[in-house]
Amino acid sequence: MAGATAVLIPGGNAAATPAVTVYPGMAVQHTEIADGKAITTHCTVGLTGSIGSAHYAVTAGHCHHEGIVTDKVGNPIGWFEFHRPDEGLTFGFALIRLYDGIGVAASMGRFGLSTVDMKPQVGQEICKIGATTGWSCGSITETTDEWLYATNALGAEAGDSGAVVYRQTSDGHAAFVGILVAYDDAQGRNAVVEPAAWLFDQIDRYGPTREDQFVWYRV
């Protein structure tokens, strides 16, 4: 790790038939006007959950911007309510507070998140779903409490920030491993993942000030 430089990659109860349902791996975007030009930032949902009665989508800390967040076709889904910025290899989070009437799911299509892997190991195969590069898998090469490194086969491009990272489980679903937060040019574009235990701790420390803790959604 000496000399490595991580490159960040910004890129209520649901209604019976919501117009939009938010889920891990979903593309989200934010548009702002700067110098008369519209600048759109693309990121990916890594996890969904709730704090009290409020529903949230979780993405990378550097995805945070003031204002409305939409899906990839421009439907408003909520706004960035809280965040903890990334600082080097110390990663934070961004919480998108979802509007009433927006659906929330833990399913990623063929399967969904059913558990959390709090102690991922070197050599373990993990996969991700990113808004830009889609579905891909790699293996863990390094672990610390604050970050994981994975082979570049996992994939990481602009717009994949916040992507759900998981491993398959014996029940046919997936264990949440963390969220994709960066790639490292100095390490052959190896992917950098914020692990689940660190992410949850950051949300509970620096998220909304409520008596209730963050509860992630599972299938």
**Entry pTM:** 0.90
What local confidence, expressed as pLDDT, does residue 194 receive? 98
What local confidence, expressed as pLDDT, does residue 174 receive? 98
The residue with tokens 């046919």 is 172
Nearest to 190 by CA among 154, 137, 146: 154
Collapsed DSSP state (helix, strand, coil) of residue 110:
coil
Pairing of strands 103-104, 21-22: parallel
What local confidence, expressed as pLDDT, does residue 37 receive? 83
What local confidence, expressed as pLDDT, does residue 17 receive? 64
Which residue numbers in the chain have pLDDT < 70? Answer: 1-17, 209-210
Question: Sign of torsion, CA 118 99 180 140?
Answer: positive
What local confidence, expressed as pLDDT, does residue 2 receive? 33
Q: Are 182 and 6 in contact (CB under 8 A)?
A: yes
What local confidence, expressed as pLDDT, does residue 13 receive? 42
| pLDDT 10s digits, 123-180 | 999 999 999 999 999 999 999 999 999 999 999 999 999 999 999 999 899 999 999 9
Could you give phi then psi for residue 193, rounded to 5 degrees?
-120, 135
DSSP letters, 52-102, are TTEEEEEE-GGG--SSEEEETTS-EEEEEEEEE--BTTB--EEEEEEPTT-
What local confidence, expressed as pLDDT, does residue 181 receive? 97
